Amino acid sequence: MPEYKTTPIVSEAVSGLLPKGERDIKGALGAAGHAPRVPMREVICYECGHPCRVPGAALSGNCSHCHAHLRLADAELKPGSKRLTVRTIGNVYVPTETVLSGVDVTCHNLTMLGRASGRYRVRGTADISGSATVTELTAEKLIIEKGADVTLENGARVKDAEIYGILRGSLQAERQIHLHNHGLLIGDCRCAERILERGAVHNGIFLRISPGT
């Protein structure tokens, strides 16, 4: 009986769903013995506070120091949202129609147009245009927009603050607190420099501190 030998089917094309141009580049690199480089970016782990590198286009990753799982994508707190705890390297957005309480947010930048009361740990800028009662707030920069009415139950610690609307509660800034025209701060403040524009009001004690304190 004759012996049959199968011949394997070999495809010369690089498998995957990459566009043809990228497949050609990948194939050329593979043929030359070079692995393609993945663009990376540096982030700060919100669990341990150490810097770590993650793929630039990834939506999640792991801290190389404490191995915590890190969310890297932006998030939006929509009306009726059941997800009240958000921890991300990305930004958080609260739209105008949102009304929530008991939120717990850790993020890079915060933009709050609606009303979402709770705790906020912001590594970048916290820009608040709505009304809220904030249990805890830390940020690089705090902006209270015109028309906003924000109450700080336990105060806030920032590096710089700009107040156009109403802020109630104690505020500590490492550098500057700037009250713009019609801005109102009701509470004590500690900062290296306080600027009161004409028409701005500070009702409380002002204590000057050394920069970076």
121-143 confidence digits (pLDDT tens): 999 999 999 988 999 999 999 99
Q: Which residue has the higher pLDDT, 53 or 171?
A: 171
Q: What is the average per-residue pLDDT within 115-124?
A: 95
Checking if the pLDDT of 114 tops 90, the result is: yes
Q: Which of 2-6, 49-53, 60-64 bottoms out in mean pLDDT, i.e. has the lowest?
A: 2-6
Rounded mean pLDDT, 167-181: 97
> For residue range 78-105, what is the model confidence (pLDDT) as tens digits?
998 888 999 999 999 999 999 999 999 9
DSSP H stretches of helix in the chain: 20-31
Instruction: Give pTM, 2 decimals.
Output: 0.78
Q: Which residues of 126-147 are buried (b: 16+ CB within 10 A; e: fewer)?
A: bbbbbbbbbbebbbebbbbbee
Over the Cα atoms of the chain, what is R_g?
25
Using a pLDDT cut of 90, give the percent of the chain over it: 61
For residue 8, the model assigns a pLDDT of 45
